[in-house]
Amino acid sequence: MSTTLVYLDSPSLAQGSEPGKADRELLAIAASRGDVVVAVPAELPEAATAALGAYGATAVVVPDAPLEDQLVAPHAAFVAAAAQDAGADLVLLSNTGEGREIAARAGIRLSAGVVTDVVAVGPDKTFTKSVLAGAYTAESRATTGIAVATVKPNSVEPAERGSGTAGLRAISVPQAGPAARIESTEEKPLSGRPSLDDARIVVAGGRGVEGDFAAVEQLADVLGAAVAASRAATDAGWIEHSYQVGQTGKTVSPQLYIAAGISGAVQHKAGMQTAQTIVAINSDPDAPIFEIADFGIVGDLGEILPQAAAEIQRRRA
């Protein structure tokens, strides 16, 4: 039996909600190898501890005093201390910007190898990741006793609710060293649509939408899809940067990705070419996006998207 430390830091947990889908994926990976110790960097209501137990945690660890309002260093010190306290040989975090930063520093503190962008964890801690913008699949391992891995969402089936229970334990966190102070935090408004990370369908718009995302949003809503964008569209300020897909945005692998008015630059493809099915709508028959599209339409997105939305709605009525 091996022990896995799972680091979870979602505000909803601290408010007593159930763990989210990505969190439950980490719990499922951990449960497949043995004991699951969950580390949460904040005080937890009883309901949250109970929910974590039900989803497979054998123990929940929190810091015995609130962490400083500082960027990642205290969190990394906490994760490293929790891993040692639990005797874990694997530490799992989510593959977000912050998750990777905490993993990076915890790796140094634990003298442990860190592997990012993981989509599968095999027996003997072999990590599968997709590299070079999706062109290769690689298997990596840590050569150290403890391994740290950051796991992408939508990688495994999330843990299901069971009848387990978990005990709560507070540990002391060692001095983290100098860190930047967080002076203010502003939450971004939620769109009400599925999040890009775990959407089954994504409808994306690029420079070709010419400033108006209404047609993209309309088709997305009919399909229950998330909205995404190319960097040309986010740079133009037509849509918030967090919707950007690509090398410096999100990497998504949905069942269906519809790219409208997007040319298909390598940096954009890096974020979406592992989608199961790709549809491209572009007025230029030579647009490179057609080279990777399962279904391509040469035409004006301003005509095609609304027609498709209306047609899908009509068929469902």
Partner 1 sequence: MSDATPLNVLVLVKYVPDAQFDRRLDPGTHRVERTDSILSELDEYAVEAALQLVEAHGGVKAGHRVTVLTMGPDGAGSAIKKTLQMGATEGVHLCDDALAGSDAAATSLALAAAVRHLGGFDLILTGMASTDAETSLVPSQLAERLGLPQLTLVSEIALEGREVTARRDGDTRTQRLRAPLPALVSVTDQFDEPRYPNFKGIIGAKKKKTHTLTLAELGLSAEEVGATGSWTEVVSSAARPARTAGTVITDQGDAGARLADFLADQKLL
Ligand X SMILES: Cc1cc2nc3c(=O)[nH]c(=O)nc-3n(C[C@H](O)[C@H](O)[C@H](O)COP(=O)(O)OP(=O)(O)OC[C@H]3O[C@@H](n4cnc5c(N)ncnc54)[C@H](O)[C@@H]3O)c2cc1C
Residues 297-316 that bind ligand X (CB under 6 A): 300-302
Residues 176-235 that bind partner 1 (CB under 8 A): 177-188, 201, 223
How many amino acids of this chain bind partner 1 (CB under 8 A)? 93
**Closest approach of Cβ 165 to partner 1, in Å?**
30
Buried b (16+ CB within 10 A) or exposed e, 107-140: bebbebbbbbbbbebeeebebbbbeebbeeeeeb
The one among 116, 230, 253, 263 contacting partner 1 by CB under 8 A: 116
What is the DSSP secondary structure assignment for residue 195, as one 8-state letter?
A: P
**Contact call for residue 249 and ligand X (CB under 6 A):** yes
Q: Residue holding tokens 């990394």?
A: 76
Pick the closest to residue 141 from 129, 154, 133, 153 (CA basis): 129
C-beta of 1 vs 180, nearer to ligand X: 180
**Closest approach of Cβ 217 to partner 1, in Å?**
16
Span of 81-89, 127-135, 154-162, 203-211 interacting with partner 1 by CB under 8 A: 127-135
Pick the closest to residue 127 from 135, 138, 112, 111 (CA basis): 138
Burial class (CB in 10 A: 0-12, 13-18, 19+), 143: exposed
**Contact call for residue 117 and partner 1 (CB under 8 A):** yes
Site string for ligand X, 89-128 (x = CB under 6 A): -------------------------xxx------------
C-beta of 32 vs 195, nearer to partner 1: 195
**Contact call for residue 159 and partner 1 (CB under 8 A):** no
Span of 38-46, 53-61, 158-166, 174-182 interacting with partner 1 by CB under 8 A: 174-182
Distance of CA 174 to the CA centre of its chain: 29
Burial class (CB in 10 A: 0-12, 13-18, 19+), 1: exposed
**Contact call for residue 131 and ligand X (CB under 6 A):** yes
C-beta of 55 vs 290, nearer to ligand X: 290
H or E element that contains 256 = strand 256-260
Is the CB of residue 226 less than 8 Å from the CB of residue 199? Answer: yes
CA–CA separation, 256 vs 265, rounded Å?
Answer: 19
Site string for ligand X, 214-243 (x = CB under 6 A): ----------------xxxx----------
Is the CB of residue 61 less than 8 Å from the CB of residue 40? Answer: yes
Is the CB of residue 260 less than 8 Å from the CB of residue 205? Answer: yes
Pick the closest to residue 1 from 38, 30, 43 (CA basis): 30
**Contact call for residue 258 and ligand X (CB under 6 A):** no
Span of 12-20, 52-60, 152-160, 264-272 interacting with partner 1 by CB under 8 A: 264-272
234-238 own/partner pairs: CB under 8 Å, 24+ apart: 236/207, 236/211, 238/205, 238/209, 238/211, 238/212, 238/213
**Contact call for residue 261 and ligand X (CB under 6 A):** yes
The one among 85, 198, 221, 300 contacting partner 1 by CB under 8 A: 300
C-beta of 14 vs 298, nearer to ligand X: 298
Work out what residue 24 binds among ligand X, partner 1, none; the CB cut-off runs from 5 to 8 Å by kind. none
Residues 67-96 that bind partner 1 (CB under 8 A): 70-73, 76, 96
